[in-house]
Amino acid sequence: MGDGMELRGDFTRMLPRLRQDRLHRELLVRAARVRGADAPTAVDATAGLGEDALLLAAAGFDVTLCERDPVIAALLADTIARAREDARLAEIAARMTLMPGDAVVTLGALDVAPDVVFLDPMFPERRRRAATNKKLALFQQLESPCEDEAALMQAALAARPRKVVVKRPLKGPHLAGMKPSSSLAGKVVRYDVYVPVR
């Protein structure tokens, strides 16, 4: 980039959060947990740099990662490939499969319903941009906010998962105006959980 910033995924910095004594306390892992699934599956429909998908994979999910931006998808492919060469991450990264392209299309083409669909549409731009870290600022230059939240949510529900988990700003509106079945709130973000009628 012209301002000298560089963006490269690095799952190794996530290692402390992947320890079993900490992993079960992660809000995303708690929100995505499904009962009675020996080999749970998840689709991270807005994968970005893959850190949320990594948490799900560490928790035992086989995760399909969708990323529509070709540059970010290439960065993510490199990050996963390097993780598979790292003995500390190889087993987890082996459960991560990247599907570049529009998540709405990918979700519509699934042969088998996943247990969980995870959505993390880019948060609306904050007024205090100075507080945004450099990596996130660079990421935001590449990835544009979700243009049609309703279409993304409908595609997630149409995939017939056991639940849809949506990451939102703590005080942000519900995605596409849909009220969740339940929510888990942290200090900065919350996870809205939607349980479709099956």
User: Quick one: residue 117, left, alpha or beta (phi over 0 = left, psi -120 to 50 = alpha)?
Assistant: beta
Distance CA 198, CA 177 (A): 21
Distance CA 141, CA 96 (A): 25
| Whole-number pLDDT of residue 81 | 97
Per-position pLDDT tens, the chain of length 198: 445 445 678 999 999 999 989 999 999 999 999 998 889 999 999 999 999 999 999 999 999 999 999 999 999 999 999 999 999 999 999 999 999 999 999 999 999 999 999 999 875 544 444 444 555 554 455 455 556 789 999 999 999 999 999 999 999 999 999 999 999 999 999 999 999 986
Distance CA 109, CA 178 (A): 24
| Whole-number pLDDT of residue 115 | 98
The string of pLDDT tens digits covering residues 49-99 is 999 999 999 999 999 999 999 999 999 999 999 999 999 999 999 999 999
Distance CA 70, CA 109 (A): 20
Residue 42 token pair: 């998840």
Closest CA to 56 of 179, 197, 163, 168: 163
| Whole-number pLDDT of residue 91 | 98
| Whole-number pLDDT of residue 172 | 92
| Whole-number pLDDT of residue 129 | 46
Structural domains of the chain, ranges and CATH numbers in brackets:
11-190 (3.40.50.150)
| Whole-number pLDDT of residue 123 | 57
| Whole-number pLDDT of residue 83 | 98
Distance CA 78, CA 165 (A): 26
Asked if 80 and 50 count as a contact pair (C-beta separation under 8 A), the reply is yes
